[in-house]
A and B are shown apart, each in its own frame.
Chain A
């Protein structure tokens, strides 16, 4: 994060008037909104806003499913970002985020279905309960670290799956279906826009947070725990905060996922789900917001792309059922990404930019 914060104007000091200007809050606000190229931002915003219309135009009515699938990526972005805050920024090796995801989904289902509470109240409670679970996990994490923490948190996932399963069996149901959803969230188009707005707002708030005192404390913990403490960072408080923030975001993502799928199932809290979150941030890039987005897109689109392959797929004389391959290919791609892009897709952008500036400066003109 801090690495990206340094703007393109490398070592040269900015002109003093500019420096004073940039201190004005609103200028900063405007810059934050448009940084990384106002044009790119505008194009991306436009495309995202028009996507549903484009889809309908190109693919006709049956495209609803694809749009639905793309909406899922927004939910994944939130979850990936949450995992990245905890693991990529605050350096806490949590394999337990799927537990927050599942808890969020089930809480929403319970409140809206069984207790008949309004949807948004359900969302609030889901986020709150996830926060409590985050405290329960983050507390021990203050004393446990590294491999020990990874295994303890993975254990949390297994326990949560069993308990949610148990809840389902006790209540005599297969899945927890959500029936009382607001109309806004049952239509593919409005659901898309709602998720889009929520995702963008959360990313924006999160990005500000990561650049603030809190985010700097997390990065300091990642870079050197000892030095962080020596400058006055309370390790316990900020590690716990990272867990709680991550749990709340993941819980929200879980609740939205249940909304999206109109059902919550214990597989939301499974180890596979945790692997998916970790894949997102590792493939995308640890400690990078762009990385969280790219990783979520990667994981979200993969099944879609694999779905385009003919099934059964014939290689020589062998026939392969593509659907059974999905997780394997998924793992294979993760492995390849780890070997060939160990710092994630988001680092490719940086490498590309570096190459570009080198080429430009070699071409003669000072950049």
Chain B
């Protein structure tokens, strides 16, 4: 029983990380139609910046954090200007490929600026080594932080999107850009805002993940990215809660599979290998899509004939 709870907790924590990334992905996709494969690189670059603040000038973690978030905002706005705007009217597929290219560029640039991060480095965080036991359940400080931050981010986003003028303008843009433009929504302002907002979410996720792993390099977010996309698609690429839920489903499935498959062999094959797990998750994902092509929580799409 405790084992299962422990696994559920671990799955919830990684699932939240997937979910946060998925939320950022959906945010950008819905408003700008960019399927952002560079999202992992954005998160990684922000986390690397944080690492540099922590290790270079040896800033305090809580002092470095706001600086890293400001950096994320700047990065988001810069990317919108230099990258997203020139390709704005390209077909969705072309834009998606462009983000793959952007990811390569971001990683290369980061690696040139911070050559030490080409290799995994230790990422210092105040959570390191803090954990407690509650009734046989091992609970780490970073795990609790991940869950807390996720909840706060989701509530804050919901309040922002539903209660503020700018947030409502963003939703209007996402629903129907030409109409929003006609209604006087400052679309030119909304796009940088979306990129900045999602970059902040990316930075938070990156820093959380680096703290959890306690190591970082320029590509450390890559393994998370594809599962975050799975989460976003399961959520229907539409709603933010759907994306988070998708993330939790993926995270829990991953942990459960890890538990079930641990130490098992089929013939000579070690099925506890993460590769097998990924294959199983993807198989399930494709099955879900076959049964519900619009994702678990997406609306049936209407196609014009």
The chain A residues found within 8 Å of chain B, CB to CB, are 87, 93, 140, 143-148, 150-152, 154-156, 158-159, 161-163, 165-166, 169-170, 226, 271, 275, 278-279, 282, 320, 324-325, 327-332, 334-335, 338-339, 342
Of the candidates A151, A162, A166, A342, which one forms a contact with B269 in the assembled complex, judged by CB atoms under 8 Å apart?
A: A166
Contact B83 A144 (CB under 8 A): no
Which residues of chain B are within 8 angstroms of A156 by Cβ–Cβ distance? Answer: 282
Separation of A335 and B274 alpha carbons in the complex (Å): 33
Known A-B contacts A170-B268, A338-B87; the reply to A150 vs B35 at CB < 8 A is yes
Known A-B contacts A152-B285, A158-B226; the reply to A147 vs B233 at CB < 8 A is yes
B297, chain A: closest CB distance, angstroms: 13
Which residues of chain B are within 8 angstroms of A275 by Cβ–Cβ distance? Answer: 97, 100-101, 104
> Which residue of the partner chain A has the closest CB to B223?
A158
Contact A143 B101 (CB under 8 A): no
Separation of A58 and B230 alpha carbons in the complex (Å): 53
Contact B96 A147 (CB under 8 A): yes
> Which residue of the partner chain A has the closest CB to B109?
A328
Which residues of chain B are within 8 angstroms of A143 by Cβ–Cβ distance? Answer: 289-290, 293
Contact B102 A159 (CB under 8 A): no
Contact A151 B97 (CB under 8 A): no
Of the candidates A154, A158, A338, which one forms a contact with B98 in the assembled complex, judged by CB atoms under 8 Å apart?
A: A338
Contact B112 A325 (CB under 8 A): yes
Which residues of chain B are within 8 angstroms of A327 by Cβ–Cβ distance? Answer: 104, 107-108
Contact B269 A170 (CB under 8 A): yes
- Sample (29) of A-B pairs whose CB atoms are under 8 Å apart: A140-B289, A144-B286, A145-B293, A147-B29, A147-B35, A148-B289, A148-B293, A151-B35, A151-B226, A152-B286, A154-B229, A155-B229, A155-B285, A159-B278, A162-B276, A163-B275, A163-B276, A166-B276, A271-B100, A275-B100, A278-B100, A324-B118, A327-B104, A328-B105, A331-B101, A331-B105, A334-B104, A335-B98, A338-B97
Contact B268 A334 (CB under 8 A): no
Contact A331 B35 (CB under 8 A): no
Known A-B contacts A166-B273, A338-B94; the reply to A328 vs B295 at CB < 8 A is no
Contact A338 B90 (CB under 8 A): yes
Which B71-114 residues have a C-beta within 8 angstroms of A?
83, 86-87, 90, 92-94, 96-98, 100-105, 107-109, 111-112
Known A-B contacts A93-B93, A159-B279, A162-B275; the reply to A324 vs B112 at CB < 8 A is yes
Contact A324 B111 (CB under 8 A): yes
> Does B17 make an interface contact (CB < 8 A)?
no
Separation of A271 and B90 alpha carbons in the complex (Å): 22
The chain B residues found within 8 Å of chain A, CB to CB, are 29, 35, 83, 86-87, 90, 92-94, 96-98, 100-105, 107-109, 111-112, 118, 226, 229-230, 232-233, 237, 268-270, 273-276, 278-279, 282-283, 285-286, 289-290, 293-295, 305
Contact A335 B83 (CB under 8 A): yes
Known A-B contacts A325-B108, A331-B105, A334-B98; the reply to A151 vs B274 at CB < 8 A is no
Contact B230 A151 (CB under 8 A): yes
Contact A140 B290 (CB under 8 A): yes
> Which residue of the partner chain B has the closest CB to A318?
B112
How many A-B residue pairs lie within 8 Å, measured between CB atoms? 138
Which residues of chain A are within 8 angstroms of B97 by Cβ–Cβ distance? Answer: 275, 278-279, 282, 334, 338
Separation of A161 and B107 alpha carbons in the complex (Å): 21
Contact B275 A328 (CB under 8 A): no
B223, chain A: closest CB distance, angstroms: 9
Which residues of chain A are within 8 angstroms of B103 by Cβ–Cβ distance? Answer: 331
A330, chain B: closest CB distance, angstroms: 6
Contact B86 A339 (CB under 8 A): yes
Which residues of chain A are within 8 angstroms of B230 by Cβ–Cβ distance? Answer: 151, 155
Of the candidates B29, B289, B305, which one forms a contact with A144 in the assembled complex, judged by CB atoms under 8 Å apart?
A: B289
A110, chain B: closest CB distance, angstroms: 15
Separation of A295 and B86 alpha carbons in the complex (Å): 22
Separation of A111 and B268 alpha carbons in the complex (Å): 20
Top-3 shortest CB links A-B: A328-B108, A162-B275, A331-B104
Contact A146 B92 (CB under 8 A): yes
Separation of A159 and B273 alpha carbons in the complex (Å): 12
Separation of A144 and B285 alpha carbons in the complex (Å): 12
Known A-B contacts A147-B35, A158-B226; the reply to A331 vs B275 at CB < 8 A is no
Of the candidates B94, B278, B290, B293, which one forms a contact with A282 in the assembled complex, judged by CB atoms under 8 Å apart?
A: B94
Contact B104 A155 (CB under 8 A): no
Given A147-B96, A158-B226, A338-B97, 11 other A-B residues pairs in contact with their CB atoms under 8 A:
A143-B289, A151-B35, A151-B233, A165-B275, A166-B270, A275-B97, A325-B108, A327-B108, A328-B108, A328-B111, A335-B105
Which residues of chain B are within 8 angstroms of A330 by Cβ–Cβ distance? Answer: 101, 104
Which residues of chain B are within 8 angstroms of A144 by Cβ–Cβ distance? Answer: 286, 289-290, 293
Known A-B contacts A282-B97, A334-B101; the reply to A158 vs B109 at CB < 8 A is no
A288, chain B: closest CB distance, angstroms: 15
Of the candidates A170, A335, A338, which one forms a contact with B270 in the assembled complex, judged by CB atoms under 8 Å apart?
A: A170
Separation of A328 and B279 alpha carbons in the complex (Å): 29
> Which residue of the partner chain A has the closest CB to B95?
A338
> Which residue of the partner chain B has the closest CB to A334?
B101
Which residues of chain A are within 8 angstroms of B94 by Cβ–Cβ distance? Answer: 282, 338, 342
B88, chain A: closest CB distance, angstroms: 10
B93, chain A: closest CB distance, angstroms: 5
Separation of A269 and B108 alpha carbons in the complex (Å): 21
Separation of A332 and B82 alpha carbons in the complex (Å): 12
Known A-B contacts A162-B278, A335-B83; the reply to A324 vs B269 at CB < 8 A is no
> Which residue of the partner chain B has the closest CB to A335?
B101
B217, chain A: closest CB distance, angstroms: 13
Separation of A192 and B157 alpha carbons in the complex (Å): 58
Contact B295 A155 (CB under 8 A): no
Which residues of chain B are within 8 angstroms of A145 by Cβ–Cβ distance? Answer: 293
Contact B229 A338 (CB under 8 A): no
> Which residue of the partner chain B has the closest CB to A327?
B104
A296, chain B: closest CB distance, angstroms: 16
> Which residue of the partner chain B has the closest CB to A143?
B293
Known A-B contacts A150-B93, A342-B94; the reply to A332 vs B105 at CB < 8 A is yes
> Which residue of the partner chain B has the closest CB to A226?
B305
